[in-house]
Amino acid sequence: MTGRALVIGASGGIGRALVEALEARGQDVTALSRQQDGLDVTDQASVDRILGALEGPFATILMTSGILAPSGGGPEKALSHIDANAMREVMAVNAIGPALILRHVPRLLPRTERAVVGVLTARVGSIGDNRLGGWYAYRASKAAANQIVRTVSIEIARKYPQAVVVALHPGTVDTTFTADYPASAKVTPAQSGRNLLDVLDRLTPSDTGGFFDWSGATVPW
């Protein structure tokens, strides 16, 4: 991938790693985040103000914002743990946020050249791969984000035939996001960033609307 890149959620572990990996490849990166730019992906006015001020085209657009649960909370382990306010917050960040960002993507893409748009979701958002249950809000929000990405890809393909719009599962990455959830297969943010860019390098317009993991394997919906 060459040219200009846009990373949303650039202050998070994976977001920072993607910025660094893209810059190492020589790309001119625009990095946006709530911490650095006041971008609140749950606030349409904030998204419209900040994204509306950008000028394209961008050859690479990546969205990495997300939460596992509201601050001080955790994912639900049983139906009895479901809380309406907590679920609203998770859905707002993980599903509505990407939709608000994606509203601005078409005008930021090159019309006739290849471009990639990647939205970080998660394997736990896969309905077909759900064998453990639990984590109701997070699973539902990521499943909703996957559907949004799939639907957006269909609309964008009508005017931007060289664009690739996909959902991405980064694997279990060693960040503050996963600090309380031990896993034997965690990778560093830097390795995760390189993995994701390698996957995006291999995708073609025929892959648009797909759901891929860090290795390039297709994840079931």
Write the single-letter amino acid at 165. V
Indicate the helix (H) or strand (E) that contains 25: none
Residue range 64-105, pLDDT digits in tens:
999 999 999 999 999 999 999 999 999 999 999 999 999 999
Residue range 110-163, pLDDT digits in tens:
999 999 999 999 999 999 999 999 999 999 999 999 999 999 999 999 999 999
Does the pLDDT of residue 4 top 70, yes or no? yes
The per-residue pLDDT for 123 is 95
Backbone angle region of 166, left / alpha / beta, with phi > 0 → left and psi within -120 to 50 → alpha: beta
Q: Is the pTM of this model over 0.85?
A: yes
Structure token pair of residue 35? 């911490």
Alpha helices in the chain (DSSP H): 13-24, 34-37, 44-52, 84-91, 97-102, 105-108, 136-159, 189-202
Backbone angle region of 72, left / alpha / beta, with phi > 0 → left and psi within -120 to 50 → alpha: left
Residue range 184-220, pLDDT digits in tens:
567 899 999 999 999 999 999 999 999 999 999 999 9
What is the rounded radius of gyration, in angstroms, for the C-alpha atoms of the chain?
A: 16
Cα 78–chain centre separation: 26
User: DSSP string covering 44-90, please?
Assistant: HHHHHHHHHT-----SEEEE----SSSTT----SSGGG--HHHHHHH
Residue range 11-62, pLDDT digits in tens:
999 999 999 999 999 999 999 999 999 999 999 999 999 999 999 999 999 9
- Whether 204 contacts 164, CB under 8 Å: yes
Does the pLDDT of residue 1 top 80, yes or no? no
CATH architecture group of domain 4-213: 3-Layer(aba) Sandwich (3.40)
Q: What is each CA distance from 8 to 5, 36, 134, 220, in whole angstroms?
A: 10, 11, 28, 25
Q: Is 112 exposed, middle or buried (0-12, 13-18, 19+ CB in 10 A)?
A: exposed
Does the pLDDT of residue 177 top 90, yes or no? no
3: confidence class by pLDDT, cuts 50, 70, 90? confident
